[in-house]
Amino acid sequence: MDKTAEKIIMNLQIVTLGNEVLREKALSVEVFDKELEDTINEMFILMHEKKGVGLAAPQVGISRRFFVTEAMDDKPRLFINPEIIETSQETVKGEEGCLSLPGVWANVERPLAIKIQAQDLKGKVFHFSAEGWLARIILHENDHLNGLLFVDRLDKGQKNRIISKYEKLSQSR
């Protein structure tokens, strides 16, 4: 993120559970323009502000296929029109939360390692491999592009428990 990005007036807001956009299958990005770049810069700012490690476009009300990540000890990363092209058979459980369900966390089982193909800000295709925490973040964000939330990866009882906890929390806010 460069200096100019910090001057952008914030107008994106994170949408939370209950907003329909979180349940839509997002459309591909077809135009790689200044507006896309500005939006992405704002998403990085918003993600830092909310202390998130990933943020997908539907979470700011934009039903398009892109997301940003910045895991601890990793650099900021951008994935446009991502495709998960390989996942390891080995899976691992790890704790996840989501800026669209603030205040609740749960252990989610996901592949340990992935290979992903995506486009950069100029539309150039690249390939990337990740494992562990970063793979988890990428898979979580990629789910957002398909209308899925981490709670959908839990068994039914656990999902209901987490959602009712979240609802109680949001009523008391």
The contact set with Ni ion (CB under 5 A) reads 98
Query: To the nearest whole angstrom, how small is the minimum distance from the Cβ of residue 150 to Ni ion?
Result: 6
- With respect to Ni ion, which residue has the nearer C-beta, 22 or 118? 22
Query: To the nearest whole angstrom, how small is the minimum distance from the Cβ of residue 52 to Ni ion?
Result: 8
**DSSP for the chain, written as a single string:** --HHHHTSPP------TT-GGGGSPPBPP---SHHHHHHHHHHHHHHHHTT-SEEEGGGGT--BSEEEE--TTS--EEEEEEEEEEE-S-EEEEEE--TTSTT--EEEEEESEEEEEEE-TTS-EEEEEEETHHHHHHHHHHHHHTT--GGGGS-HHHHHHHHHHHHHHHHH-
- With respect to Ni ion, which residue has the nearer C-beta, 98 or 114? 98
- With respect to Ni ion, which residue has the nearer C-beta, 42 or 52? 52
141 counts as catalytic: yes
Backbone angles phi, psi at 105, to 5 degrees: -140, 155
Query: To the nearest whole angstrom, how small is the minimum distance from the Cβ of residue 61 to Ni ion?
Result: 14
Exactly one of 6, 30, 141, 167 is catalytic; which is it? Answer: 141
- With respect to Ni ion, which residue has the nearer C-beta, 17 or 32? 17
Query: To the nearest whole angstrom, how small is the minimum distance from the Cβ of residue 22 to Ni ion?
Result: 9
> What does the alpha-carbon distance between residue 76 and residue 154 come to, in Å, rounded to a whole number?
28
Tokens of 156: 């039914």
Residues designated as active site? 141
